Structure 1
Amino acid sequence: MKKIRPLLCASLALNCLATSTMTWAEEAGTAVPSTNDSDSLYASPQPQKSRLEALTSSLSIRRLDHQIQTLNADDTPFLALYKASETSSTQGCVILLHGDNQHPDWPDAIAPLRNALPQYSWCTFSIEVPDIIKRGQAINTTATADKEEGGEDTDNAQTPTEFELPDQAAIFARIQATIEQANAQDMTQLILLGYRTGASYALTFTAQNPDATRALALIDIDVPKQQNTDPVSEYELAQRIRRVNQPVLDYYVMRSGSEQFATWRQQAANQRVADNATYLQLDALPVPLSGEENKATLIQTVRGFLKQQTTQINQRNTLPSVEKGLFY
């Protein structure tokens, strides 16, 4: 018992000293270090920026940095990959939109088409599309719960025909800036091609700008989804095909749940009244658009569609003159 009392006294003395020190610091206006984690600064993750930096680095290593262009839309720069036609008789230019959380040289669909079409007299512009679902960000479940309990959000409620896709204005501005860049290079025959969610933007842009492009290609179209908000209606998105007067290629991968969406698109296309309202819907079989054989089929399908549905420049070359020899 005698040994415990000195230890207890020492402990009380230390506590008193710490308390008096804190009080003195507060009275003197000295900042006391805080251990609250919320006061610390954290770097916000930027996955799309890192993805594009890796892309440009890869292109530079492969000595393809001459394909990289920086365009501007609404005072905002964005990345575009340009590849010129590899023949002397350029048919026009194809503008490609990649899917969500991808990049302008995505290995499925986008890269094969942007690299192959120039061999068949088409230049290509593959442009950067902002991410819809931001990776690395916390999901706010409160808004979703409020909708489930209290019904739809009246502040953001839109009629079915007036809904907009996520970041629609910004993406449309980029498409328009790319069209102007192509026109500056005397490319008057322009094709808009979208892959996955990029196809939804390509469809909506064409429906709202009927004279901007000559044809539309939808590759495995997918409806954009947003965090904490209701998804875009597949039915209402399909109805926008009714307002497209240009020829349309609808090349999709049949998967579980996509049959009804494909049916709605076909029905909407059947209701078009334009004379040249060609609509070609093809099932790419239930396999992803990867693998050399599948990529070759995709390239051939798009190439055949463009050849049949656009104005083709006569590419026949005259036979070379031959000097007749002694033994002709």
Structure 2
Amino acid sequence: MNHRLLALVVLAVLIGDARASDQRRELEFAEQLQAGTSAGNVVWLNSAGQRFLGIWTEAEKADNTNAVILLHDMGNHPDHQPLIRGLRTSLPEYNWATLAIQLPLREIGAEARDYYGLFDEARGRIQAAVAFLRGNGARNIALVGHGIGAAMAAYTISLEPDALLALAAISLPLPDSTLPQARIGDFLKQIALPFLDIYAEFDLPEVADTARQRRMLAKDNPVYRQVVINGEDHDYSHDPAMVVKRVHGWLTLNLNPN
């Protein structure tokens, strides 16, 4: 093998590794969730030939016409406490079915920039989640994401604006990156759907320090709203119920569920 060909092979391996999700970590989370998840049913979905776990919780006092897909932050899972679990178990009490899905992961210790190469894989999983919800009677579907999950949601909606009805982005970062998947600011300018932008008073710098920039980028969207949760940090561990309340009130106002 000549040096040029060897270099191309090494480059291909490196690129492939940069884009590959850590399926072993996903399986470890899946084992834990199958053994100990309450309030909801574990389901398995498929995207691009790869199975991934979701937790499906039906609306309590209505059919599943109105549903939310929940997207966790980087390195987490679809029952992560307190925020994702709080949303997925509380919204059904307000007649919103929830489907929290496992997003692709990188290795432990990976940084946010390491996740940008997984955005297309995440998009495929969101598409599979939409198909699952449609098959279970959902007509009004919103995306609710936290951190990198919110960025993956914005990326997906910017490419498929007609597939979903609304986006609630919790602690949405504006990364300092030139990678196409990380150009969140460009995505914000394209989104014309009802858009709730929640961030914490003591959030990460790439979230809190860019709040005004996000408002300006979304200024042409008449159904964009930004809300700050005082006294909280990126994990919303002090009062996650306040975030649930904000998301539920916004869903009710913008999508008028039965």
- Normalised by the size of structure 2, how large is the TM-score? 0.80
**Is the CA contact 2:175–2:183 (under 8 Å) kept in the aligned structure 1?**
no
Across the aligned residues of Structure 1 and Structure 2, the Cα RMSD in angstroms comes to 2.8
- Which residue of 45, 50, 53 maps to 2:28? 50
Say if 2:139 is the partner of 1:188: yes
Instruction: Name the residue aligned to 2:215.
Output: 266
Counterpart secondary structure, 1:103: coil
Structure 1 gap segments, 5+ residues each: 1-43, 140-163, 314-328
> How far apart, CA to CA, are the structure 1 residues paired with 2:109 and 2:31?
18
In the other structure, the counterpart of 2:68 is 94
What is the alpha-carbon distance in structure 1 between the residues aligned to residue 87 and residue 140 of structure 2?
Answer: 17
Equivalent residues of 1:223, 1:232 under 8 A apart: no
Could you tell me how far apart the structure 1 residues matched to 2:141 and 2:51 are? 22
Q: Which residue of 2 aligns with 1:40?
A: none
SS at match of 2:79: coil
What pairs with 1:158-173 in structure 2 (closer than 5 Å)?
165-173=116-124
Distance change in 2, residues 1:259/1:83 (3 Å):
closer
Q: Within 5 A, what are the aligned runs for 1:149-298?
A: 165-222=116-173, 236-255=183-202, 257=205, 258-272=207-221, 277-288=222-233, 289-291=236-238, 294-298=239-243
Greater relative contact order structure (CA < 8 Å, 6+ sep): 2
Residue 89 of structure 1 deviates from its aligned partner by 4.9
Q: 2:58 aligns with which of 81, 84, 91?
A: 84
Work out whether residues 238 and 261 of structure 1, in 8 Å CA contact, stay in contact via their aligned partners in 2: no
The answer to whether the 8 A contact 1:95-1:190 is kept is yes
**What SS class does the counterpart of residue 51 from structure 2 fall into?**
strand
Contact persistence 1:235–1:261 (CA under 8 A): no
How big is the shift at 1:88? 2.6
Gaps of 5+ in 2: 1-21
1:253 deviation in Å?
Answer: 1.2
Moved over 4 A (4+): 230-235
The answer as to 2:258 corresponding to 1:309 is: no
Closer, same or farther: CA 105–240 of 1 in aligned 2, 3 Å: same
Deviations 1:22-80 (A, max 9, x none): xxxxxxxxxxxxxxxxxxxxxx9944432332222112xx5x5x600001111110001
Distance apart, 1:287 and its partner CA: 1.6
Q: 1:49 to 1:222 in 2, by over 3 A?
A: farther
Is the partner of 1:211 in helix, strand or coil?
A: coil
Q: Give the 3-state SS of the residue equivalent to 1:167 in structure 2.
A: helix
**Structure 1 CA distance for aligned equivalents of residues 26 and 51 of structure 2:** 14
CA distance in 2 between counterparts of 1:74 and 1:135 reads 24
Asked if the contact 1:224/1:232 (under 8 Å) is kept, the reply is no
Is residue 113 of structure 2 the alignment partner of residue 135 of structure 1?
Answer: no
What number of residue pairs does the alignment pair up? 230
CA shift at 1:217, angstroms?
A: 0.3
Asked if 1:118 is matched to 2:92, the reply is: yes
Identity within the alignment, %? 25
Paired residue type of 2:55: L
Deviations 1:101-148 (A, max 9, x none): 10000113110000000011110000001113x1278x9xxxxxxxxx
49, 54, 62: which one pairs with 1:75?
49
Deviation at 1:232, TM superposition (A): 5.4
**Contact persistence 1:223–1:234 (CA under 8 A):** no
How far apart, in 2, do the equivalents of 1:172 and 1:233 lie? 14
Alpha-carbon separation, structure 1, partners of 2:144 and 2:92: 15
Change (3 A) 1:178 1:303: same
Q: Is contact 1:197–1:223 with CA below 8 Å preserved after alignment? A: no
Specify the structure having the higher radius of gyration (Cα). Answer: 1
Q: Which amino acid aligns with 1:135?
A: I
